[in-house]
Amino acid sequence: MDVTESDLPGVGKRHTVPLGDGRELVIVTHNTGTREVFVKEHPDADSEKLLELSDRLARTVGTILEGAYFQPVESEHVETMLTEGTLLEWYAVDEGSPLAGTTLRDAAVGERTGVTVVAVQRDGDVIAGPGPETTIEAGDTLVVVGDRESCEAFEATLLGSAG
Amino acid sequence: MADLLEVGVLFAAVAAVGAVAARLDKSVIPFYILTGIALGPSVAGDLSVEGVTVPSVTASEFVNLGAELGIVFLLFFLGLEFNLDRLLASRSRIGTAGTVDLLINFGVGLVLGFALFGEALAALLVAGIVYISSSAIITKSLIDLGWIANPEADPMLGTLVYEDLFIAVYLAVAAALVAGGDSLGDAALSVGVALGFIAVLVVAVHVGTPAFERALRTGSNELLVLRAVGVTVLVAGVALAVGVSEAVAAFFVGMGFGSTSQVERLEGLLEPVRDVFAAVFFVWIGVETDPALLPGVAGLVLVAVLVTTPTKLVSGYLGGRTYGLSPRRSARVGLGMVSRGEFSLIIATAALAGAGAGLSTEVAETLYAFTVGYVLVMSVVGTLLMQYSGPFEAFATARFGPG
């Protein structure tokens, strides 16, 4: 994803986010804090204004979008780029997962896939830095760190589709 | 009339017409100037209804000083938002678009000025007046129309940055020449002093960032505003006292503050201060204008409008192409750059200050009235061209193709 940033002297900054379907999201951040959000039907189209947010409102909306209040991980996994090439991902553990019921030591995902499990979310609690004796249970959400390849390998292992 | 009442009339009138301008989606600048003319000594000052004097505004000490502060804060903000690193980062594109803009508009302005006034100094002033586009009007229109989110905003704002830097140096030289004596030696000396002063300020800005940073380090908004205003107005005052342009001094103080970590806070806190005094400045422009002189300069204004609207259309179009934009978007850049406003008026003010010195009183007054008429027309024409850009875009696409 290639987000471009441009300076708008006397106004603020503009960020352009390609939406993947040919459209682009344009966010103009004014020096006053106001955010204006536009959408472009295609990169050459004129921007159409969607909404204008005050600084406070923009931060609230941003936090919701980031998933701080609610993360719909059951349907999709969430990924965050830590640095170029390193991902922080959330994975839901289903009933039928081969990892459900095993300890982290037995699961040995580090050796098998290259990722590190940095936290386990369970019933609203977070087990940060889980030890090797921590058991993975169905319904858990695992927070893992690794490069894209490792994360894909981990996802396959989690789903039981690895060879 | 009591001074306080006069100032109250001024601000109440400005507030009222500002609301009208906002309702009509137009720039406030022509409205403020017309308010100044209407409230000034030649119109309201001459009126009395059934023996009661109509409230009017004169160029009192407060209005004069307020206008001066308006100039100082306008230029201070220009400096505050001016970022040398940003300019250097995209110097090839800004440089090309800005140089094309300068050569075409300043060049044509010189010829036009000489044709209209027949003397070199007046020609130099006309060149500056028709060259410098209005940052205030253009930025506001860009935001109102949503063009700010489109690529055409980049060459427009980039060109404005180039113009700002040029005008800082130009104002210093022009102010020195206008005030300078008769002989070439005197003129050369005052220009030398002006350029030397700029050099000192540039060095101060360059090495002074840590000092500026320390000077502004405070959690209190009140103290921050007071310190920024204190430094700016003091330096501007010193500049004026030693005979250098106060506007240029304010520009460089702004630039110095712009490189500190407080720049965003300063912008937010000082914007209303600038707007209040800028309004006084525009009203003062109107108060100083003798409406009786305007019909006499109508011909000059008409010629200038007819010549310098196309020059900005062409230079803006070429600037847009430099940025790799399509003919349609490049046409928008041209349309957008047409607005002239606050800086043309500041140059005219410098001309008026030189009446009887570098310029004859007659030429200075004609030049001033000409600029007021010119800005009244161009601020409206520029906004209208942006609002009704459709036919121009269609023409550009038909003539130069879609890509």
CATH class label, B72-400: mainly alpha
Residue ranges per domain, chain A?
A: 4-66, 78-159
CA B213 to chain centre: 28
Pairwise CA distance, residues B74 & B82, whole Å: 12
Q: What are the sequence ranges of the domains in chain B?
A: 72-400
| pLDDT at B80 (0 to 100) | 87
Under an 8 Å CB criterion, which residues of A touch B? 6-11, 14, 26, 28, 31-33, 36, 38, 40, 44, 46-49
End-to-end CA distance of chain B, in Å? Answer: 63
* Predicted pLDDT at A66: 79
Contact A36 B153 (CB under 8 A): no
Touching check for B394 and chain A: CB below 8 Å? no
Taking the CA of residue B335 and the nearest CA in chain A, the distance in Å comes to: 16
- From the list B86, B146, B264, the residue facing A9 with the nearest CB is B86
SS3 at position B323: coil
CA distances from A87 to A149, B223, B271 (A): 10, 45, 42
Provide the shortest C-alpha distance from residue A7 to chain B (in Å): 8
What residues does A7 pair with on adjacent strands? A13
Q: Does B86 touch chain A (CB under 8 A)?
A: yes
Q: Is B160 on the interface with A (CB under 8 A)?
A: yes
* Inter-chain CB proximity B157 and A31 less than 8 Å: no
Beta strands in B221-349 (DSSP E): none
Tell me which residue in B135, B148, B264 faces A28 most closely, judged by beta carbons.
B148
Answer whether B81 sits within 8 Å of A10, measured CB to CB.
yes
Answer yes or no: pTM beyond 0.90. Answer: no
What's the pLDDT tens digit per position in A93-117? 888 888 888 888 888 888 888 899 9
CB contact under 8 A, A47 and B149: yes
Q: What is the pLDDT of residues B363-401, one digit of tens each?
A: 999 999 999 999 999 999 999 999 999 999 999 998 888
Q: How far apart are CA A89 and CA A104, in angstroms?
A: 17
Per-residue tens of pLDDT for chain A, all 163 residues? 688 988 888 788 899 999 989 899 999 999 888 999 999 998 888 999 999 999 999 999 988 887 777 766 554 556 677 777 788 888 888 888 888 888 888 888 888 888 999 999 888 788 888 888 888 988 888 888 988 888 888 888 888 775 4
B150–A46: do the CB atoms touch at under 8 Å?
yes
Please tell me which of the candidates B135, B148, B267 has its beta carbon nearest to residue A8. Answer: B148
CATH number of A78-159: 3.30.70.1450
One-character DSSP codes across B128-146: HHHH---HHHHHHHHHHHT
Which of A15, A31, A36, A48 to mutate to probe the B interface, most B CBs <10 Å?
A31
The 8-class DSSP code of residue B355 comes to B
Predicted pLDDT of residue A75: 47
B233 in Cβ contact with B277 (< 8 Å)? no
Amino acid at B379: S
Pair B365, B389: CB distance under 8 Å: no
B153 touches chain A (CB under 8 A): yes
Give the Cα separation of B33 and B282 in Å (integer). Answer: 5
Q: Using the beta-carbon criterion (under 8 Å), do B149 and A11 form an inter-chain contact?
A: no
Least CA distance to A50: which residue of chain B?
B146
Tell me which residue in A10, A36, A40 faces B135 most closely, judged by beta carbons. Answer: A10
Give Dmax (Cα) for chain A: 59
pLDDT of residue A74: 53
B104 and chain A: CB distance < 8 Å anywhere?
no
Task: Tell me the count of A-B CB pairs closer than 8 A.
Answer: 54
Angle at B97 between CA B92 and CA B101, to 5 degrees: 145
* Beta strand ranges found along B9-95 (DSSP E): 48-49, 52-53
Among partner residues B149, B154, B161, which is closest to A36 by beta-carbon distance? B149
Task: Provide the 10 A C-beta neighbour count for residue B87.
Answer: 18
The half-sphere exposure of B373 on its side-chain side, counting CA atoms within 13 A, is 22
Do B312 and B108 form a contact (C-beta atoms < 8 A)? no
**CB distance B158–A46 less than 8 Å?**
no
User: Can you give the pLDDT at residue A78?
Assistant: 61
Give chain B positions within 8 Å (CB) of A40: 149
Do B150 and A47 count as a contact with CB atoms less than 8 A apart? yes
Q: What residue type is A14 in one-letter code?
A: R
- What is the ipTM score, two decimals? 0.76
User: What DSSP designation does B216 have?
Assistant: T
- Chain A interface includes B157 (CB < 8 A): yes
* Below-50 pLDDT ranges, chain B: none
User: Helix/strand/coil (H, E, C) string of chain A?
Assistant: CCCEEEEECCCEEEEEEECCCCCEEEEEEECCCCEEEEEECCCCCCCEEEEEECHHHHHHHHHHHHCCCCCCCCCCCEEEEEECCEEEEEEECCCCCCCCCCEHHHHCHHHHHCCEEEEEEECCEEEECCCCCCECCCCCEEEEEEEHHHHHHHHHHHHCCCC
B268 touches chain A (CB under 8 A): yes
Distance (Å) from the alpha carbon of A49 to chain B's nearest alpha carbon: 7
